[in-house]
Amino acid sequence: MGKLLAFGEIMLRLSPPGRELLLQSPRFDVWVAGAEANVVTALAKLGHDVGIASRVPDNDLGRSAITTLRGHGVDTAAIQFGGDRMGLYFVTSGAGMRATEVIYDRAGSSFAEAPVDAWDWDTLLVGVDRLHLSGITPALGPVPAESAIAAAEAASTRGIPVSFDGNWRGKLWERWESDPRGILTRLVAHADLMFGNHRDIALLLGRDFSGEGEDRRREACDAAFAAFPKLQTIASTARHVEHVDLNRLSARIDTRDAHAQTEEVVLAGIVDRIGGGDAFAAGVLHGLRSGGDIAQAAATGLALTALKHSLPGDAALFRQADIDAYLAGGLDVRR
């Protein structure tokens, strides 16, 4: 098996301690973040050969991010130095009936300012057997959008499978004269594996789906399979929010001729749900790359995202033994 390479922005996440409001106390907890970085970090902790292509400033912030990723086992050789600033975002964790809030500070970041020709895909894709992208990169602006499309096209031309996570970020798309449907359609056209639900597919196809529950999800998947010939697998979650600390979550994987649906699990006492979708993507990729079928991959994806909800920060820092223990059940102290 070759290497999985992700392409996207590496950021720093700043959060008030505990459940405080922003600057209620004059300090922050800081984590290395970014959707693609979260996926490869989780996969590295699970023993996979992974790397990330990105760009950070040549200063203490950028170098610390590289050191952190390398410490988790991620190959950082494809991270460039350039530009002047690190992308940031601020997360104020919710509680009870107060929702979590996100503020982006990513404009003019090193990654967002990188020109399309900064990425030498002839070199970057050597030894790679999967490219992982998300909808966040094209949301950053017209140049990152073209860079993401160029990456997908380069992989597709070389016969390298592309996985794509929709990761809708309306606040980012709204900042420029964007065409989300047109851009995302060009990306999904190269993907064999997509992470997204019926709402993501509705955006791509410019239509709504009238069913309910599993029927609606299957109807949306069938429409996506018809529209995108390369697409073979769609993985999704369904979340019901009772309050910030109590969610119910299930997972599903659809292929062109089959599907696998998990039971719904209750996530109580949630510590941090940010990065949960990235953990799900990593869990599904882990399951599939480990030779599991779609039922096993769906269960693994749900297990890893459930575990992520117990951990502060963006990345799921769990081993296979943690997933096995979760799937085995039992929450008493392990001695």
Are the beta carbons of 170 and 204 closer than 8 angstroms?
no
Cβ-based neighbours of 329, under 8 Å, separated by 6 or more: none
Q: Which of 211, 210, 167 is nearest to 188 (CA)?
A: 167
**Distance in angstroms (rounded) separating the CA atoms of residues 301 and 320:** 12
**Distance in angstroms (rounded) separating the CA atoms of residues 38 and 61:** 17
Distance (Å) of CA 239 to CA 174, 246, 302? 25, 11, 11
Are the beta carbons of 234 and 254 closer than 8 angstroms?
yes
Q: Name the helix (H) or strand (E) containing 150.
A: helix 142-157
Residue 1 is encoded by which pair of tokens? Answer: 């098996």
Q: How far apart are the first and last CA of the chain?
A: 36
Catalytic residues: 278
**Distance in angstroms (rounded) separating the CA atoms of residues 313 and 42:** 12
Angle between helices 60-71 and 35-45 (to 10 degrees): 30
**Distance in angstroms (rounded) separating the CA atoms of residues 198 and 13:** 29
